[in-house]
DNA sequence: TTTTGAAATTTGATGCAACAAAAAAATTAG
DNA sequence: CTAATTTTTTTGTTGCATCAAATTTCAAAA
């Protein structure tokens, strides 16, 4: 049926080869769209068509199709009809589910990362935190959200668990659009700052449970703010699009 | 850039509409391949080419491409070279990571499902368990694995968390090929049976923690058996392909 | 036998056109 | 003005051809 695995001597190229580069138009189209989604650049309900994506990304329909198909698979886009894909709305049940998964997975990642963090990692986190603080002071909310994302994922990546990080990304992908138009309201709050500081302290102390708790707290704080926003604004989209 | 969301009256189709059916050749090609992977029908290392998949599935290259691309995104297939996609080997580090995630997520799903299970659900679980027992007696190992999968996912689905179930599926997708050629060795063990019984008891008692513990135990048991098999056979594929 | 290297073959990526289906717009009827 | 109906436009799907790049084959050289 399919080609059987190579049985040969399996010449391992020594110790290098964590490769995997895979640049193609489809790949970068996917990456670009995904980034837009995570950043909240696309409003929920925005309709994406094959040809419009192709045009914006300056590629043909084939790579655009690749990107859209993959994103639908991850839940970053959904089919709102046989020929209509849109950026999904985040309903309260959706947010509940996402949050529960995030608590599990980001908590796990944070825990696992704790004993892998280097001094320079921690220093980098502190730099990111400064950028967050400065962003809050100067009302540069996009910067705040970006730096916040970097802060979290720097930690998660140090878990050494690649698939885990990928899954967490797909969760953030789902949250992103909900922030659209909410930057000030959302980023203004400084509740997250103290959670980050607790996380930093836990990392320095090599205390996995403390780091996990800090991250979980951060997620819960975000949940509170987002859910009240959703309750206030988003009743018209009752159904879950998970 | 893209079409803005409809502002109109948003005619909700009443109460029905959990729809989302999306039958297309690409979709079914994806489903078919995915199923083959989960069932362990494909040996790790098996090379898949666009055209061979297209031929086997009796479709053109386009739907085959869809399926392969999506599966790569989920980690069910990997790029072993610029023009080579294979069924991934499961290294011990990979198994460790998968297991950690499974414990988190399947534990969560089991917990959440506990209070949603109906009498008839539980009855169905008992039926499945009988099929597992019979399969063990009669050495019908494929049946055992199938029924085992149904047992777990019936529970998980009752969590009501769709995205969670999808993610868990992608984890099983990654485990499937590792069972290839190991059916007897793996399914022979009856360790799983008592875990399932504990899970059933927990469900009847509406004890989420007990159900979670039973499922976690089941996962750990599988981990032990698989990891020793991997350690014995699979040294030649050192690198992680997560 | 092993190694090397070049030729032949196969591969994935990409663009594109045709088609049926669906959505949107325009029109008509009430 | 609203609602139904028809017309027009747009959409995703699918198959396929092309092309550069990578793989495989195979024979010559060591």
At A228 the pLDDT is 87
Contact B240 A162 (CB under 8 A): yes
Q: Does the nearest atom of strand D lie within 7 Å of A61's Cβ?
A: yes
Which residue in A107, A111, A128 sits closest to A197, CA to CA? A128
Mean pLDDT of chain B: 87
Q: B32, B101, B177, B208: which to substitute to probe chain A, counting the most A Cβ within 10 Å?
A: B101
Domain hosting residue A117, numbered range: 92-233
- State the nucleotide closest to B69 in CA–C1' terms: C12
CB pairs under 8 A between A and B: 137
Query: What is the edge-to-edge ordering of all strands in the sheet holding A78-81?
Result: A47-48, A84-86, A78-81
Report yes or no on A2 lying in a domain.
Answer: no
Tell me, yes or no, whether B82 lies in a domain.
yes
Picking from A131, A242, A240, A222, the residue whose alpha carbon sits closest to that of residue A179 is A222
Among A59-68, B126-135, B229-238, the least confident range: B229-238
Residue A109 lies in a domain: yes
Closest CA to B235 of B64, B90, B120: B90
Is A97's CB within 8 Å of B166's CB? no
B76 or A10: which leads in pLDDT: B76
Query: Could you report the per-residue pLDDT of A125-177, keeping only the tens digit for each?
Result: 999 999 999 988 888 888 888 999 999 999 999 999 999 999 999 999 999 99
Rounded distance, CA B147 to CA B8, Å?
47
Residue A75, SS3 per DSSP: coil
In Å, what is the CA distance from B5 to each residue of A37, A42, A179, A227, B14? Answer: 15, 10, 15, 21, 20
Record the tokens describing residue A22, joined without a space: 């895979």
For residue A6, is it within any domain?
A: no
Confidence band for A233, pLDDT divided at 50, 70 and 90: low
Query: Please, which positions of strand C sit below 7 A from a protein CB?
Result: 10-17, 21-24
Report CA(A12)–C1'(D30) in Å, whole number. 25
Is A97 domain-assigned? yes
Nucleotide closest in space to A82 (CA vs C1'): C22
Same domain membership, residue A118 and residue A157:
yes
Using alpha carbons only, give the angle A110, A116, A121 rounded to the nearest 5 degrees.
85
Which residue of chain B comes nearest to A107, CA vs CA?
A: B104
Inter-chain contact A242–B48, Cβ cutoff 8 Å? Answer: no
CATH number at residue B114: 1.20.120.530
Q: Which of A69, A86, A103 is the last residue of a domain?
A: A86
pLDDT computed for residue B22 by the predictor? 64
- Tell me the C-alpha distance between B150 and B142, whole Å: 12
> CB B5 to CB A46 under 8 A?
yes
């Amino acid at each position: 049926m399919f080609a059987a695995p190579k049985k040969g001597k399996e010449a391992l190229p020594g110790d290098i080869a964590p490769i995997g580069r895979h640049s193609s138009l489809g790949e970068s189209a996917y990456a670009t769209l995904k980034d837009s989604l995570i950043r909240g650049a696309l409003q929920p309900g925005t309709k994406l068509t094959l040809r419009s994506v192709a045009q914006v990304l300056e590629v043909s329909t084939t790579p655009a199709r690749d990107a859209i198909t993959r994103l639908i698979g991850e839940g970053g886009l959904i089919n709102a009809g046989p020929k209509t894909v849109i950026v999904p709305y985040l309903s309260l049940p959706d947010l509940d589910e996402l949050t529960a998964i995030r608590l599990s997975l980001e908590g796990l990642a944070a825990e696992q990362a704790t004993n892998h963090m280097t001094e320079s990692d921690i220093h980098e986190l502190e730099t990111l935190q400064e950028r967050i603080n400065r962003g809050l002071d100067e009302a540069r909310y996009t910067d705040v959200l970006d730096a916040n994302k970097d802060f979290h994922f720097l930690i998660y990546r140090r878990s050494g668990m690649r698939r885990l990080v990928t899954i967490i990304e797909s969760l953030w992908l789902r949250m992103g659009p909900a922030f659209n138009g909410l930057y000030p309201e959302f980023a203004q709050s400084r509740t997250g700052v103290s959670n980050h500081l607790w996380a930093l302290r836990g990392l320095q102390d090599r205390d996995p449970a403390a780091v996990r708790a800090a991250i979980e707290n951060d997620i819960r704080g975000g949940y509170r703010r987002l859910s009240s926003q959703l309750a206030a604004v988003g009743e018209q989209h009752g159904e879950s699009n998970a």
